[in-house]
Amino acid sequence: MKDIGIYFSDFGSVEDYNHGQLGQVIVCNTESNFEPPIKGAVAIFFVPEYRNADLDITTDYISIFRKSFYSLYAGDWKSKIYDLGVVKPGKKVEDTFAAVTEIIHELVKAKVTPVIVGGSQDLTLALYKGYQKLEQTVNILDIDSTLDMGNPENSVSPDNWLSKIIVHKPGYLFNYSLIGYQSYYVNPAEIALLDKMYFDSFRLGEFYADETMVEPIVRNADILSFDMNSIRSSDFRGNQKNAPHGFYGEDACRIMRYAGWSDKLTCLGIFNFSQTDVSLLHDSNLLAQMVWYFLEGFNLRKKDYPIGSKTNYTRYAVSLDDFKDEIVFYKSDKSGRWWMEVPYPKIKGMKFQRHLMVPCNYEVYQRALENEMPDLWWKTFQKLS
């Protein structure tokens, strides 16, 4: 791994914490002794870059968050955790983005899972470019009350980062999923555009109608971009929209646990953490618990993503009327989780090979038995074709 320590300052401290608390577990680097994270570790770092959002926010929240986070007790975890520090702000926003891109590139290449505490959500573009440097196609999951499509012709902002990724050449975005959007915040024409691109979008009400639907969607993502404004203002008091509706805090933690549990997910970004003096401690406690649940899930990973041999899976083949091919499902013997196999045109080469196995749940298999073509299978096949 290249020396990424040059990008960091404002390091954490693990003094004065009890045995078993995260403050006694986390590896905190210093400027004079920067220890590169090892393979299989989680590396947390902070990017207080809000200039594209026109917000003037101090970095006080980082020390408050650290105090809240370090005071939590670790579970029976085996993976090492690093606090890399705070990314030094660039003279221009583009300089900060370039630093984040390089950090993500180096960490993901070294099989280290980065957890970024931002910053405005347009930093998702910097995360994406880190994978571009790896020439890896990715799936992005966006937990958001809005759709940040915007106008790609404008300079990058929290309102148009997605369109910047979609039009970026060369393109490495395979799938984009939006969970938790609220219809009165979103232009219907933009949702229709997502459908035309065979991307996925789910309203907040769809989540609460079936809260289990989120797990396989999270399991399909490489990058999770979480907008804190998707949490209702009663639970996240720094909500910039003062939104009365949104996810409850415990549901945000549930999503984080699913994200940690997913073998495929290799990068988490939590953005738009703004604060007031009144809300800072409350919101920092929420954010700390969200990251804790991610780590809990991360340490429960089964390493059962079905790549290569399928000897540890039960195979189910379903025939549908008026459809010449079978829909093939696999159920993991380790975790009981389900995947669908989508046929892949060999003439396309290996570019999309890692997207052949699409996470799903038992209900999708049941509906296939009732002669219903899975929508997720069809969307994926269209993108592969």
201 bridge partner residues:
178
* 140 is a domain residue: yes
Angle at 51 between CA 92 and CA 276, to 5 degrees: 145
Q: Of 298, 323, 343, which marks where a domain is finished?
A: 298
Asked if residue 330 and residue 222 are part of one domain, the reply reads no
Domain extent, residue 191, equals 5-298
* 307 is a domain residue: no
Asked if residue 230 and residue 364 are part of one domain, the reply reads no
Asked if residue 106 and residue 173 are part of one domain, the reply reads yes
pLDDT score, position 24: 94
Asked if residue 121 and residue 46 are part of one domain, the reply reads yes
Asked if residue 111 and residue 173 are part of one domain, the reply reads yes
Q: Say whether pLDDT at 58 is over 70.
A: no
Closest CA to 263 of 167, 156, 337, 370: 337
| pLDDT per residue as tens digits for the range 242-256 | 999 999 999 999 999
- Asked if 13 and 67 touch (Cβ cutoff 8 Å), the reply is no
Asked if residue 338 and residue 225 are part of one domain, the reply reads no
* 356 is a domain residue: yes
Arithmetic mean of pLDDT, 223-246:
95
Half-sphere exposure of 34 (CA within 13 A, CB side): 18
Q: Of 298, 328, 351, which marks where a domain is finished?
A: 298
pLDDT band, very low/low/confident/very high, at 317 (cuts 50, 70, 90): very high
Of 44-53, 323-332, 339-348, minimum mean pLDDT range = 339-348
Asked if residue 348 and residue 282 are part of one domain, the reply reads no
Asked if residue 244 and residue 354 are part of one domain, the reply reads no
- Asked if 113 and 41 touch (Cβ cutoff 8 Å), the reply is yes
Arithmetic mean of pLDDT, 188-202:
96
Q: Where are the alpha helices (DSSP H) in the chain?
A: 60-70, 93-109, 124-133, 161-167, 188-196, 204-209, 214-219, 249-261, 280-298, 362-369, 375-384
Widest pairwise Cα distance in the chain = 67
* 39 is a domain residue: yes
Q: Give the Cα separation of 206 and 217 in Å (integer).
A: 13
Q: Give the Cα separation of 278 and 283 in Å (integer).
A: 10
* 308 is a domain residue: no
Asked if residue 319 and residue 218 are part of one domain, the reply reads no
CA dihedral sign of residues 108, 113, 119, 122: positive
**What is the token pair recorded at 204?**
């907040």
Task: Identify the CATH number of the domain in which residue 18 sits.
Answer: 3.40.800.10
pLDDT band, very low/low/confident/very high, at 351 (cuts 50, 70, 90): low
In this structure, which long-range contacts are made by residues 157-164, counting pairs with CB atoms below 8 Å and at least 24 apart in sequence? 157/52, 157/53, 157/122, 158/52, 158/53, 158/120, 158/121, 158/122, 158/272, 160/122, 161/121, 161/122, 161/124, 161/125, 162/124, 164/125
Q: Say whether pLDDT at 84 is over 60.
A: yes
**What does pTM read for this prediction?**
0.94
* 303 is a domain residue: no
* 353 is a domain residue: yes
Q: Of 237, 270, 298, which marks where a domain is finished?
A: 298
Asked if residue 223 and residue 326 are part of one domain, the reply reads no
Number of domains in the chain: 2
Asked if residue 97 and residue 59 are part of one domain, the reply reads yes
Question: What amino acid occupies position 127?
Answer: L
Asked if residue 165 and residue 104 are part of one domain, the reply reads yes
pLDDT score, position 227: 97
* 306 is a domain residue: no
pLDDT score, position 307: 77
pLDDT score, position 13: 85
